[in-house]
Structure 1
Amino acid sequence: MLSALRAKASTNNTAVLAGSDLDQEYLTNITVGGQTFPVIVDTGSSDTWLIKKGFKCFNLTGTPETEETCAFGSAGFDTAASKTFKSFPKVSFNISYGDGEFLSGGVGFDTVSAGGVTVTQQEIGTPDLAAWNGDGVNSGLLGLAYSGLTSVFNTTDPTKASNANHIPYDPFFFTAVKQGVVTNPFFSIALDRPASLTVNVTVDPNLGYVAFGGMPPVALDKTAVTVPIQGYSATTGDPSTTNAVYFYYTLDVAGYVFSGSTSVETANNNTILDTGTTLNYFPTKVAKAYNAGFVPKAKYNEDEGLYYVDCDATPPAFSVNLGGKLFPIDARDQILDAGTDDAGKVLCISGTQDGGADTAENVFILGDVFLHNIVPTFNIKTNELTITRRAKY
């Protein structure tokens, strides 16, 4: 399958990624209506949105704040200055993220370009209310998951958004495939790990690629596997292969391999590949058993729900079993900078954290910690994921 992908991907459109927020976010530039903005590249959501010029900022509890508090990288998208923007009346955009951030506002259609790919009449969110912990660089997001996760609703009141009035639409890459502006119906991503734990720059350039219709220009190992993307039951919302609908890029994990893992139930079938999440979030028993293997041991902070580790600790070896193939996580990815304490001491956290009980309703995450070590190829036509191990770098 890997050789077939390489053969098909002789021509592709590739966007260079940059790191921000201590390289915990991966950004690329997109142009909408002639205006260019850095945005977060996210396979864990589906909407393309840009904060609208004149927006109102709130904190995560809903208290009004100044625009500067939301820390967007610009004054926002000026819909009036775009010659190609068309408003979508009588609907609203409304989205919330796992960390408590939320946005709401209007919806429209415009010409969107990313990585040399240009689509017309792309539906986008133009929120004018935001609770956002920005990095001072990005002004929005490029969502690459399925239409089931889009966030447009048939109501002008975002507080009344619900499954009953959800209006799914084609995300950017799906539009590109339908409009025939990419060669192949798949995209691939390579996320480079930061060069060091502490990054003293606002933007870290050249930190990876997203290739639309092709493969990124990075060295690969021969180890690869192709697995089906897991759908969900339209009635129960649980992972399913019967009359399934697609939301995330969910894949079956055969197991996590580390010292002591044979005594812990590690397999689950509700795990997503998410470029928009830095850490891995695994079932409680897996996270607890793995973090106990650090030397010295990781310490769990109940108030924050995080495993902290010494910055010079030795992480245990760790691999993810996908389709019978093992994909190791480099030890360098298992210790992350978490800022400093009141005395100025650098703090570090484990790259593998507690994602909750191993139940059907919980979604677990293979985040950037894992993605630094692979190139995933997302095929939206066959609903398959090809996972290829990266060569050591």
Structure 2
Amino acid sequence: MALIAVVLSLVCAVTAEFNVVRHASQAPRSVEPVVIPAAQFVVPITSREPRRQSKKSNLASLRAAASSNDTAVLEGSDFDSQYLTNITIGGQTFKVIIDTGSSDTWVTQKGFNCFNLTGFPESTEICGFGSDGFDTTASPTFKAFPDVSFNISYDDGEFLTGPVGFDTVTVGGLSVTQQEIGVPNLAAWQGDGVNSGLLGLAFPDITAVYNTMDPSKASDANQIPYDPFFFSAVKQGAVTNPFFSLVLNRGALTANTTEDPNLGFLAFGGMPPVAVEETAVTAPIQGYSATTGDPSNQDAVFWYYTANVGYTFPGSTTVVTQNNNTILDSGTTLNYLPTKVAKAYNEQFVPKARFHKGTYYVECNATVPAFSVNIGGQSFSIDARDQILEDSTDANGNAVCISGTQDGGEDTPDTVFILGDVFMHNVVSTFNIKTNEMTITQRKIY
């Protein structure tokens, strides 16, 4: 950390002004399914990569100043993968992660300094990014945002920190001018040579820009929320409708491949070109109390695309399955549900799932129990193919499989549960950032 501070101290500082707008939550209500038109801009998703070992990140304050726990964490696992798309910044194109569970758009800066997880300098190849990085000097539209810093750190020792700037960002034909982005020049990263950054699609209050040049001083007190890419697109009138849709295909990937020509779509302003059922619902996005950080619908702020959900499966009548602190996160493969729900469901596999070192393992040819997610009074089924995932092979070369529904912890107000790709493979998820609603539409079997 001392080495990072020394490097950052070389950056000159100038005064900046900010305008922070928080998004108020309304009381929940029943809503007829909104008719979603075809999208203006559609981005095909053609690749994905294994997720890093951890998704525990200090994105920003998700617990508010009154809470003793200042930062909420989201956790992925070794089994997760990430969907990627191309993004153009200042005329330069990069492959980045599509993430509804975070808000910043960032790409590493050309000439960045790479560190290992203990803070010692390494060659840039060790960090494993998929490109040399963004050359700010080669972009005619890049403007630096002085006296502030982009800063994300991870529990496993990874971190990204460095300058912030504004530039023209284009995704699938949708362009935003003067979009605020992170261009970290200091990184400890365990990449795989594929992605160079991230496209965050969640709310402004969890962006990670701070009014300090010292990453050790980044905190709630000097966080500077800003409009993420799609929020800027709506404000600039670059897209007609204030919603985006995401459809993720389970694809045909194996453990040793990253390319697939049909992994889904990211669609701006409407529905992607996939076949859907008539089953659909529009429901409020769950807010959080600005004083306690607990789920709330009164004078609250938004962080994630959080839903009030329940679950139906054989044996579900024996356990309380309702929870209002569950996010739809394209950056997590598995569903992470309350302990009692995950246990009750995994006991219904034939043969039963085995719980070992925090993970439910299943036979690769097990009989999968039916499972539905209930949102806004409507049920959405999960295909059995998404509930058994091949994870690895044993010493004899036999496949080892895990359940798509895993233990996300005890059902307490400060625990964030996740509906990941296991759920999102089966629906079109549409998020309206103006009305703070989500529309979920069941996909036809594919």
User: What corresponds to 2:315 in structure 1?
Assistant: 260
Paired residues for 1:238-277 under 5 Å: 238-253=294-309, 255-277=310-332
Paired residues for 1:286-297 under 5 Å: 286-297=341-352
- Counterpart CA distance in 2 for 1:276 and 1:98 is 17
- Counterpart CA distance in 2 for 1:65 and 1:3 is 51
- Counterpart CA distance in 2 for 1:240 and 1:203 is 41
- Counterpart CA distance in 1 for 2:400 and 2:186 is 33
User: What corresponds to 1:14 in structure 2?
Assistant: 42
Residue deviations 1:230-268 (CA, integer Å, cap 9, x gap): 111111011111111111011101x21111111111111
User: What corresponds to 1:300 in structure 2?
Assistant: 355
1:57 aligns with 2:114: yes
Offset, 1:18:
2.0
2:127–2:189 Cα contact (<8 Å) kept? yes
2:47–2:85 Cα contact (<8 Å) kept? no
Offset, 1:99:
6.8
- Counterpart CA distance in 1 for 2:349 and 2:156 is 27
Offset, 1:134:
2.3
The counterpart of 1:186, out of the listed 243, 248, 253, is: 243
1:4 aligns with 2:35: yes
Residue deviations 1:2-26 (CA, integer Å, cap 9, x gap): 56223xx4x5111111232269211
- Counterpart CA distance in 1 for 2:388 and 2:121 is 35
- Counterpart CA distance in 1 for 2:158 and 2:341 is 28
RMSD across aligned positions (CA): 1.8
1:282 aligns with 2:331: no
Distance 1:354 1:137, change over 3 A: same
1:28 aligns with 2:56: no
Structure 1: 5+ residue runs without aligned partners?
Answer: none
User: What corresponds to 1:382 in structure 2?
Assistant: 435
2:144–2:164 Cα contact (<8 Å) kept? yes
Structure 2: 5+ residue runs without aligned partners?
Answer: 1-31, 51-79
Paired residues for 1:269-348 under 5 Å: 269-302=324-357, 305-348=358-401
Higher strand share: 1
Distance 1:80 1:142, change over 3 A: same
1:43 aligns with 2:100: yes
2:34–2:439 Cα contact (<8 Å) kept? no
2:42–2:272 Cα contact (<8 Å) kept? yes
When normalised by structure 2's length, the TM-score is 0.83
Further displaced range: 348-357 or 170-179: 348-357
1:126 aligns with 2:183: yes
SS of corresponding position for 1:21: strand
Residue deviations 1:271-303 (CA, integer Å, cap 9, x gap): 00100111111011111111122222222222x
Further displaced range: 364-373 or 305-314: 305-314
Offset, 1:76:
1.1
1:144–1:173 Cα contact (<8 Å) kept? yes
The counterpart of 1:176, out of the listed 210, 225, 233, is: 233
When normalised by structure 1's length, the TM-score is 0.94
- Counterpart CA distance in 2 for 1:68 and 1:188 is 35
User: What corresponds to 1:154 in structure 2?
Assistant: 211
Letter in 1 for 2:275: A
Offset, 1:64:
4.5
Residue deviations 1:193-250 (CA, integer Å, cap 9, x gap): 1225x25433223310011111100000000011000111111011111111111011
Structure 1 segments, 4+ long, off by >4 Å, are 59-65, 97-101
Further displaced range: 182-191 or 15-24: 15-24
Further displaced range: 91-100 or 281-290: 91-100
SS of corresponding position for 2:265: strand
Letter in 1 for 2:388: I
- Counterpart CA distance in 2 for 1:100 and 1:269 is 31
SS of corresponding position for 1:159: helix
- Counterpart CA distance in 2 for 1:295 and 1:178 is 51
- Counterpart CA distance in 2 for 1:61 and 1:270 is 34
